[in-house]
Structure 1
């Protein structure tokens, strides 16, 4: 396998590029933040490790090469000479997606057809809309750049969560919000509106040193240079013990059942506990002070926000009176709701795209 380094683009949830860069740095990569993600340099083992280890990336794109092309005939000729067989397999279908910007080749559909034909006729690989491998072609200023999506299904799909609540927070976002609160695996985490348990399970996995992608498959496993032995070594990272415990509660018994089942599938059920309960009845657990973090309802229409102000005021009162020394974090799209808690917020975090909404993390210092 070539040990030549190339660009690897780690796709981030918009607004969470900075914590993703910090996570990459902690794993030994020097990342350059760009809109929508972080670029690192590395080899194919770095691609595999990034997919398996990173908790904040949504996908990993490997930049595999390119050439200049001023017109479609030139694109066709050079695409046929590209060394597809180094990475693509003739027995694995491929999908091609093309973007054209400020180039003489401006018709993305026509460019896609030329690249697809080159791959199918020179390599023999079938072209399919639902292919497990996606080749991304970017034509900008007459420079054609090829990248392979090495991930497949988004990395927030860890592979062990079958049940999800309404409007779930993605695991990738939960991990980055925890990081922004300084969570390193050693602090207790409590989510009193846990839904399907994302914050609690993610925190428990980090504390146990579990590999994020251990339970799922990846597109890179369909490439010609896939090395199962190396992947197996990466996945079998040693699980560590932790004295820390993690807590979730929800007023919905169905959500609590869901969270327990998800935690058991993730292998963290022994350190993560979930109970049915209203926010008004929330009590501080008998453990060292830690982090309360939650994604409370924030209402998408003006008409249904009224009761939420009362709920947030109640939340603030519970945290102030029962959680002295704890740090509080709330993910919300509504600054007014955060302020209704009456908590001493620091400056809110960057705007983050979440399911068509723009949310931010609001956090306090120790109460």
Structure 2
């Protein structure tokens, strides 16, 4: 079994959550940087990371890294990497994405073109051929140049891991599945506590919470690039991980998760997505405005992604909306509230300063994760059945 350096990218600000996930899977962390966690693992680790990790965007095999300040250095550095250990003679290979930050080389298209030429040059000599059919398995590459250091990763995932396969119906400005899962995992919420999302949209927060509570692996119902890399990863590794994921599902679990939205179309989309995720029996969706947020039980959680007002015509509506949210929260005085928003005046109009405020980059957009901690519920006696 080969040992690899594996790179797991994530949203900026979510590195600690991803690190805990990787450690829980049983792998050693090598490095934590802004927006990514690097860890050590074998073929089984590649498979299990793709299927089980909730908060990473993809899993990359690190092919190597080198310094390059000129295109000649980029060509020679790329050519020196052991491509034949990964890409077979019929493999289809290309640089799917190149990112440059604070580096002399900054043109993505030139970086992609030069690196492809360098790979072809090396593989021609190794396979003793003049051209490649590229009609076999796909080997997409992702390259980051940070302060002139080039890091080359082979993408084992293909489509981003936020594409779980359940979100067929979408609404305006949805939050990604990976970010929703990471935000839930930043809170103390557990499966036996109430969770309500009063701006549920297409249902991402409630669905991800239900999957976490029922221990449903996020990658169970999708495919990955590396499934076709039989020379690197045996099929048995995929079957074993799928069986492991199936065995871990908590099928008899009951949860109190609710999703509200004022838009009937959003509720319809959320219900369909929950059905596709096979958690529709764990979530109650209802068309309801935030002003009607209420619950008879204590010590619940609100985790939500309210409108930001990023469009000019919506900005003037934000103060009134956030006052309404604050008023609704005030009636649930034993609850905890967590909301992510790009509206930087949120605390002012909610009427309360957050206990914690975490900056998180949602793509290129700076957002704030406002955290209002409610009281902890009283300890239950072992024999006591409580509805709290």
Provide the C-alpha distance between the structure 2 equivalents of 1:34 and 1:143, rounded to a whole number of angstroms. Answer: 14
Q: Which residue of 1 aligns with 2:286?
A: 275
Q: Which residue of 2 aligns with 1:189?
A: 195
Q: Which residue of 1 aligns with 2:382?
A: none
Tell me whether 1:314 sits opposite 2:324 in the alignment: yes
Q: Which residue of 1 aligns with 2:304?
A: 294
Residues 76, 118 of structure 1: 8 Å contact kept: no
Q: Which residue of 1 aligns with 2:237?
A: 230
- Gap regions ≥5 residues in structure 2: 376-388
Shift of 1:344: 4.5
Tell me whether 1:25 sits opposite 2:32 in the alignment: no
Tell me whether 1:364 sits opposite 2:372 in the alignment: yes
Q: Work out which of the residue numbers 354, 359, 365 in structure 2 matches 1:345.
A: 354
Tell me whether 1:52 sits opposite 2:51 in the alignment: yes
Give the TM-score, by structure 1 length: 0.86
Provide the C-alpha distance between the structure 1 equivalents of 2:338 and 2:118, rounded to a whole number of angstroms. Answer: 50
Tell me whether 1:204 sits opposite 2:215 in the alignment: no
Residues 195, 301 of structure 2: 8 Å contact kept: yes
Q: Which residue of 2 aligns with 1:13?
A: 11
Provide the C-alpha distance between the structure 2 equivalents of 1:294 and 1:170, rounded to a whole number of angstroms. Answer: 13
Residues 208, 242 of structure 1: 8 Å contact kept: yes
SS of aligned partner of 2:345 = helix
- The 1:33/1:65 distance shift into structure 2, 3 A limit, reads closer
Provide the C-alpha distance between the structure 2 equivalents of 1:142 and 1:337, rounded to a whole number of angstroms. Answer: 39
Give the TM-score, by structure 2 length: 0.81
- The 1:36/1:357 distance shift into structure 2, 3 A limit, reads same
SS of aligned partner of 2:154 = strand
Give the 5 Å matches for 1:98-117: 108=111, 109-117=113-121
Q: Work out which of the residue numbers 290, 303, 325 in structure 1 matches 2:334.
A: 325
Provide the C-alpha distance between the structure 1 equivalents of 2:270 and 2:147, rounded to a whole number of angstroms. Answer: 49
Report which stretch shifted further, 227-236 or 138-147.
138-147
RMSD: 3.0
- Gap regions ≥5 residues in structure 1: none
Q: Which residue of 1 aligns with 2:177?
A: 171
The alignment covers a number of residue pairs equal to: 355
- The 1:77/1:264 distance shift into structure 2, 3 A limit, reads closer
- The 1:303/1:263 distance shift into structure 2, 3 A limit, reads closer
